[in-house]
């Protein structure tokens, strides 16, 4: 293909490519997001391997030798859990999150921990000067000499520095500020983000360097730029939480080297992010005593049980159409469970406003919290508080039955560890569990059984 330039249009929200301008993107259905970019077509070259050699050679799987140390610990147990046990050599990790959530602080603390163990780290920033990074670093603590800083946005210069310094870990903050001189569009555009990520992927795989990339997010909460960006990297981590609140949740949505069900919980303090080793106790802090509409439920995030407080406020509506809101859980699921209560228990909820909240700002959509939602609504409707030492979990069906959930034993043991005396769970789960000393197990088959127990 001969060299030349052509004009194409990219959607700034999802990266959809079109030969002409369109008002609405057919992929993400956003309006007025197409921008014009000039793309240079280059002559097709022969295949090259990731290490720069001319020819690529296939290797049988049985002949590939694995070294003993495949992962490097970040010094933060919560981050290691989300990554699958540590940093894999030659991996490309994308970290996204809202502005001010703590992405740069988290990665700078990781650099500090790695530098203390004589791991050579290169921190490349395209948004801050060296003095600004130094100010933030002094707030976190002291750093070793194994950490080097570079303020640069030109990828050709960054490649030369990496070849010269030969670091083990590289942090790019952020990918939207990097640019490739071969691409004529502005930094942060779809073409630049895609080409920059491709260049960094070649560096990571070819030289065996682990690279962390910081990515900005859109108003919908997804990483800005083309969707192919998430397909190119090995791991995608999202930093969630309200930046005005103390806690942060690190969630893995893609991981080629581990599970995507694990989460890490952190607390933002003046000296940086601190790991929360017991998130259940952290989420239940400040729970009111003797208040109706409050119940503790247990949800699973990967292999970790998390206890959380579900709050409900049900009151008579003064308008023809009752108001329903849900914070921290699925709104449609709440409406479904209220319909089950009306049909199966005869509760007159059709003329009542209902407000549901999961305390602490955490968001949970696991079906196991259905029973907690139901009991919180019933408690508020009848204005009868539920015993503070009672916990519940179970999925509720449309017939009002309480269905079994996975990992029941881990949930019960976590409740026992935090001092709960009674656990309401599906009868099927109770029959499969052995007797656990220190906590009473109450098996229920329907929501009526659960309501009769807590309201007796």
**Residue 182 annotated as binding?**
no
Domain ranges of the chain: 4-41, 71-277, 282-454
135 marked as part of a ligand binding site: no
Output the DSSP codes for 3-67: -EEEEEEEETTT--EESS--SB-TTT--BS-EEEEEEEE--------TTS-SS-----GGG----
Query: Which burial class, exposed, middle or buried, applies to 356 when counting CB atoms under 10 A from its CB (0-12, 13-18, 19+)?
Result: buried
80 is in an annotated binding site: no
Reading the chain (456 residues) residue by residue, the pLDDT tens digits are 445 677 888 887 777 888 899 999 888 888 888 888 877 665 445 445 445 455 678 889 888 876 655 789 999 999 999 998 899 999 999 998 888 888 999 999 999 999 998 999 999 999 889 999 999 888 888 888 899 999 999 999 999 999 999 999 999 998 989 988 887 777 877 788 888 999 999 999 999 999 999 987 766 556 655 566 788 899 999 888 776 677 888 988 899 988 887 888 898 888 889 998 888 887 888 888 889 999 999 999 877 899 999 999 999 998 888 999 999 899 999 999 999 999 999 999 989 999 999 987 788 889 999 999 999 999 999 999 999 999 999 999 999 999 999 999 999 999 999 999 999 999 999 998 888 889 999 999 999 999 999 988
Whole-angstrom distance, CA of residue 330 vs CA of residue 299: 14
Closest CA relative to residue 265, chosen from 287, 253, 283: 283
To the question of whether residue 75 is assigned a binding role by annotation, the answer is: no
CATH fold, domain 282-454, is Ribosomal Protein S5; domain 2 (3.30.230)
d(CA 357, CA 208): 46
**Positive or negative torsion for Cα 80, 81, 85, 88:** negative
Q: Determine the Cα–Cα distance for residues 425 and 69; give it in Å rounded to an integer.
A: 43
Tell whether 98 is in a known binding site. Answer: yes
Q: Quick one: tokens of 68?
A: 């003993």
pLDDT at 47: 47
Do strands 34-41 and 4-11 pair parallel, antiparallel, or not at all (unpaired)? antiparallel
Q: In this predicted structure, what is the pLDDT of residue 155?
A: 92
Which residues does 385 contact at the CB level (< 8 Å), separation at least 6? 290, 291, 292, 294, 379
Q: Do 293 and 380 form a contact (C-beta atoms < 8 A)?
A: yes
Q: What phi-psi label fits residue 10: left (phi over 0), alpha (psi between -120 and 50 degrees) or beta?
A: beta
51 is in an annotated binding site: no
Residue 221 assigned to a binding site: no
What is the predicted pLDDT for the residue at 94?
A: 93
Question: Quick one: pLDDT at residue 397?
Answer: 96
Rounded Cα distance, 402 and 428, in Å:
9
- Using the CB atoms, write b or e for 189-214: b if 16+ within 10 Å: bbbbbbbbbebbbebbbebebbbbbb
How are the residues of the chain apportioned to helix, strand and coil, as percentages rounded to the nearest 5? Answer: 30, 30, 40
**What pLDDT is stored for residue 352 in this prediction?**
93
Superfamily of domain 71-277: P-loop containing nucleotide triphosphate hydrolases (3.40.50.300)
Was 102 annotated as part of a binding site? Answer: yes
């Amino acid at each position: 293909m001969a060299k030349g330039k052509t004009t194409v249009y990219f959607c700034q929200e999802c990266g959809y490519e079109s030969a002409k301008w369109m008002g609405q993107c057919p992929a993400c259905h956003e309006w007025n997001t197409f921008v014009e970019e000039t793309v240079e077509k280059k002559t097709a070259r022969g295949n090259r391997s990731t290490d720069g050699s001319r020819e690529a050679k296939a290797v049988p799987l049985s002949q590939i030798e694995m070294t003993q140390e495949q992962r490097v610990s970040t010094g933060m147990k919560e981050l290691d859990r989300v990554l699958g046990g540590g940093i894999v050599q030659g991996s490309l990790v994308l970290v996204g999150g809202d502005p001010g959530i703590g992405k740069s602080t988290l990665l700078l603390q990781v650099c500090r921990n790695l530098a203390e163990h004589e791991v050579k780290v290169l921190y490349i920033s395209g948004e801050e000067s060296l003095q600004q990074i130094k100010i933030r670093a002094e707030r976190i603590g002291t750093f070793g000499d194994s950490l080097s800083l570079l303020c640069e946005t030109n990828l050709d210069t960054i490649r030369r520095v990496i070849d010269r310094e030969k670091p083990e870990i590289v942090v790019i903050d952020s990918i939207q500020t990097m640019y490739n001189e071969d691409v004529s569009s502005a930094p942060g555009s779809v073409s630049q983000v895609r080409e920059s990520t491709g260049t960094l992927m070649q560096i990571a795989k070819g030289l065996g360097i682990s690279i962390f990339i910081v990515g900005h997010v859109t108003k919908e909460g997804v990483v800005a730029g083309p969707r192919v960006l998430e397909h190119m990297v090995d791991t995608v981590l999202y930093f969630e939480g309200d930046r005005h609140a103390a806690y942060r949740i690190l969630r893995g949505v893609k991981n080629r080297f581990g599970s995507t069900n694990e989460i890490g919980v952190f607390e933002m303090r003046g000296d940086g992010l601190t790991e929360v080793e017991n998130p259940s106790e952290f989420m239940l802090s400040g729970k009111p005593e003797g208040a109706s509409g409050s119940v503790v439920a247990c949800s699973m995030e990967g292999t970790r049980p998390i206890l959380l407080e579900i709050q409900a406020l049900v009151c008579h509506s003064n308008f023809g159409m009752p108001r329903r809101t849900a914070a921290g859980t699925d709104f449609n699921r709440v409406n479904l469970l209220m319909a089950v209560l009306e049909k199966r228990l005869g509760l007159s909820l059709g003329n009542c406003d209902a407000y549901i909240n999961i305390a602490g700002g955490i968001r949970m959509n696991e079906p196991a919290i259905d029973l907690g939602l139901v009991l919180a609504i019933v408690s508020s409707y009848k204005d009868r508080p539920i015993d503070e030492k009672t916990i519940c979990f179970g999925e509720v069906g449309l017939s009002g039955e309480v269905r079994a959930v996975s990992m029941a034993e881990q949930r019960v043991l976590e409740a026992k560890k935090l001092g709960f005396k009674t656990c309401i769970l599906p009868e099927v789960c109770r029959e499969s569990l052995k007797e656990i000393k220190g906590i009473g197990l109450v098996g229920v088959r329907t929501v009526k059984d659960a309501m009769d127990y807590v309201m007796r």
